[in-house]
Structure 1
Amino acid sequence: MSTFVNSKKILVTGADGFIGSHLVEYLVGQGHQVKAFCFYNSFNSWGWLDSLPKETLDNIEVFTGDIRDPNGVRTAMKDVSIVYHLAALIAIPFSYHSPDSYIDTNVKGTLNVVQAARDFEIERVLVTSTSEVYGTAQYVPIDEKHPKQPQSPYSASKIGADCIADSFYRSFDLPVTIVRPFNTFGPRQSARAFIPTIITQLLNGFDEIKLGDITPTRDLLYVKDTVRGFETIANTPSLIGHEVNIATNSEITIGEVAERLIKLINPKAKITLDETRLRPEKSEVFRLFGDNTKLMKHTNWKTQYAFNDALQETIDWFANKENLKQYKAGIYNV
C-alpha cells in the first residue's frame, strides 16, 4: 500500500451512496482514517453505510451535513488531508424536471468543497465526474480530450462542476484531480441504473422486464475496481491537475447485458419496451466506450474482476431478501 495517504484523515463526501459507501469500506479496510460525510436527515439514516459490518462502522467517523451548505462543508474539512468528493445528484430523468437542484448540489456543492480545500490547504482533492459529460461518443475509445456534450441537465451540471474544479487548479494551484468513472455497477446500486432495474425485476419473478432503449452501449466497470482506481489516483501526484478516466476499454449494449441476466436468473423472461423510460432522442447517450490509457500510463491500476464474475456477485447481493426488499421493482425508479 502506498504511504501517500497512509495515516492521514480522509473525507469522503457522498459516503452514504453507492460508490461512496464502497469507497469508505475499502479505505477502512486499507487501514485509513475515514470521515464519512452523509446527507443530514432526521431519521439518522447513514444510507448504505448502515449496511456495513459493525467492526467497519466502528472505524468510521460520520459527519452529517448538506454539501450545498458551505458552513457544514468547512466544518467537515477542517481536520482532513485528502478529500474524495462524490456527493452529487446523479439520476438523469430527475434532472429533466428538477434541474435547479442539480446546479445547487453538483455545481455549488463542488464549489463549496474546493473553496474550503483552498482555505485549509488540503493535500489532495479528488472530484468525481461522470462519463455522461462526454455524451454520445464522437470517436472511440473516448479519451479525456473528447469534447464535452451536455445532453441532459445532469450532464451539464457535472461539466460545470468539473470546470469549477479545474479553474481552482489553474487559478490557485489547488491539488485537484477530476476522476471520471465510466458505468459503474455492483451491490447497493440504485434501481435508477439499468442493471439493478433488470435484476430486481427478475428476482421478484416478473416475466416481462420493462426497459427503455436497449441499443445504447456502455463501458461497464465493477464498483470494487472503481474504488481501487480512486485510491490509486490519490496516490499518484503526477495526476494532479488532470482529468482521468476509469474505464475498461470495452463496450456492451444494454440489451446484451439484459439477455445475460435473464439467462442467469429466469430464462423465461422477456424484455418489453416501457416508453416512459425512454430519454428524449437528443438527450440519450448512445455510445460510451472509455479509454483508460492515461490511468494505465501513470499507475499500475487494472481491472481485477471479470465481467461475468462481477455480474454474478451483484446478483448474489440482490438475491439476499433483506437487500431485495429495499427496492421497488414494480415502479420506474427515476
Structure 2
Amino acid sequence: MTSAPLAAVTGAEGFIGSHLTEALVASGHRVRAMAQYNSFSSYGWLETLPQDVLDQVEIVLGDVRDPGSVRALAEGADAVYHLAALIAIPYSYRAPHSYVDTNVTGTLNVLEAVRALGTPRLVHTSTSETYGTAQTVPITEDHPVNTQSPYAASKAGGDRLADSYHTSFGTPVVTLRPFNTFGPRQSMRAVIPTVIGQVAAGQHTITLGDLRPTRDFTYVTDTAAAFLAVGTAPAEAVVGRTLNAGTGGEISIGDLVGLIGKVMDTDLDIREDGQRIRPADSEVMRLVADSTRLHEATGWAPVLDLEQGLARTVEFFRDPANLARYKTGIYNI
C-alpha cells in the first residue's frame, strides 16, 4: 500500500497557509505544517481547523530564519510549499531588516534545504506587489519588476534567489505570484477584513487610506487551489517558471467598499485616515492579473467571483467567535 504524499508547508498557521493545509489534506496529502515558534505554543489559524483535517497534519514550531528548522521540516517531503513571510507593507517602512531576514534569508534557507535533500518540488510564494503600479494591463509575467516598498523588494529578492537556484543547481522550484487574496482568516491589515470587521463590530463610519488604487481580488480557496495546482502539475509544465494567479478583474478600493456595503446591507460613511496612506511614490495604483500561463500549464481558474467571496467572508466575520480574534477598533499596522 502506497502512503499518502507528504507536503511540508511554511507559514501554515497563517491566512493562506491554513487554507492550503486544508486543501492539501482534502486532496489526499499528509501535511507537515510549520508555525512560527512562540512562547504561547500557538498554532495560529491551524487551531481552528476541523479535527478530521488535523488528524492528517503534523504541526511543528520553527522559524524559516533558522536553517535547522527548515531542514527538519523538509526532511522526507514530496513537496515543500513556502508561504512564510512578513507581509504588512506599512510595517516594512518601519522594520525593513526584519523583512530581509524573513523574506530573503528565510527563502534562502528553504532553497538550501530543498537542494540538500533532493526534494522533488518547491513552490515558492511571490506577490503581485513586485510588479509595482501596472505599466501595461493586464499584467503578464513579462511585466517589469518595480518594487515600490521594502516589503515588495524583499519578496523580489526571494524570487530572484529561487530563479537562481533553478538555473544554477537545477532546484525544482516553481514560483506562484498571487494577486490580492481575501477571505476568512485574513489579517485585519488588509482592506477587505478592515472594512468587514469594522461593520461587523457595529461601526458605520469606516476609516481607510487611499480609495483610488485598483486591485484584482481572488478568494482564498481559489488561491489555495492555485498552489496545489503548481505543486502537483507535471514538472515540465511548471518547474523553473513564475506564474500569476488572479481573476483578471479589477475594482477600486472605493467601489469595493460600496460592494461590501451592498453585501452587508449597510450604508457606509467613509473617512480618510492619513496614517493609512502610503508614501506617494510607494503606493501601487493598479494591479490586474493575466493568469493565462497558469491556466494553460495546470488548468487552474478561479471558481468564485468577488461578490460570492465577499458573502462568505462576511459570514465568517459575523460569527462572534471569529470577530473576537480581531482588533477592529485600531489601525492594525
Fold match by TM threshold 0.5: yes
**Residue of structure 2 in register with 1:17 after alignment:** 14
**Residue of structure 1 in register with 2:45 after alignment:** 48
**Residue of structure 1 in register with 2:160 after alignment:** 163
Say yes or no: does 1:134 pair with 2:110.
no
Q: Deviations over 1:232-271 (max 9, x none)?
A: 1112221100000011111111111101112232533211
Q: Is the 8 A contact 1:16 1:49 kept in 2?
A: yes
**Residue of structure 2 in register with 1:309 after alignment:** 308
Superposed displacement of residue 6, structure 1: 8.3
1:83 to 80, 83, 91: 80
Cα distance in structure 2, aligned partners of 1:212 and 1:28? 38
Q: How many residues are paired up?
A: 330
Amino acid in the other structure paired with 2:76 = D
TM-score between both structures, scaled by the size of structure 1? 0.97
Cα distance in structure 1, aligned partners of 2:63 and 2:298? 33
Amino acid in the other structure paired with 1:275 = G
Cα distance in structure 1, aligned partners of 2:260 and 2:195? 7
Paired residue secondary structure (1:291): coil
Cα distance in structure 1, aligned partners of 2:72 and 2:297? 33
Cα distance in structure 1, aligned partners of 2:125 and 2:192? 21
**Residue of structure 1 in register with 2:95 after alignment:** 98
**Residue of structure 1 in register with 2:252 after alignment:** 253
After superposition, the CA RMSD in angstroms is 1.2
Cα distance in structure 2, aligned partners of 1:182 and 1:197? 18
Cα distance in structure 2, aligned partners of 1:166 and 1:122? 16
Q: How does 1:263-302 map to 2 (within 5 A)?
A: 263-302=262-301
Which segments of 5 or more consecutive residues in structure 2 lack a partner in the other structure?
A: none
Sequence identity of aligned pairs in percent? 50
Q: Deviations over 1:6-53 (max 9, x none)?
A: 822110100000000000011111111110011011111000000111
Superposed displacement of residue 59, structure 1: 1.4
Amino acid in the other structure paired with 2:313 = T
**Residue of structure 1 in register with 2:30 after alignment:** 33
Q: Is the 8 A contact 1:12 1:34 kept in 2?
A: yes
Cα distance in structure 1, aligned partners of 2:144 and 2:88? 22
TM-score between both structures, scaled by the size of structure 2? 0.97
**Residue of structure 2 in register with 1:262 after alignment:** 261
Which segments of 5 or more consecutive residues in structure 1 lack a partner in the other structure?
A: none
Cα distance in structure 1, aligned partners of 2:109 and 2:164? 13
Q: Is the 8 A contact 1:6 1:32 kept in 2?
A: no
2:105 to 108, 114, 120: 108
Amino acid in the other structure paired with 1:112 = N
Which stretch of structure 1 is more off in the superposition, 6-15 or 151-160? 6-15
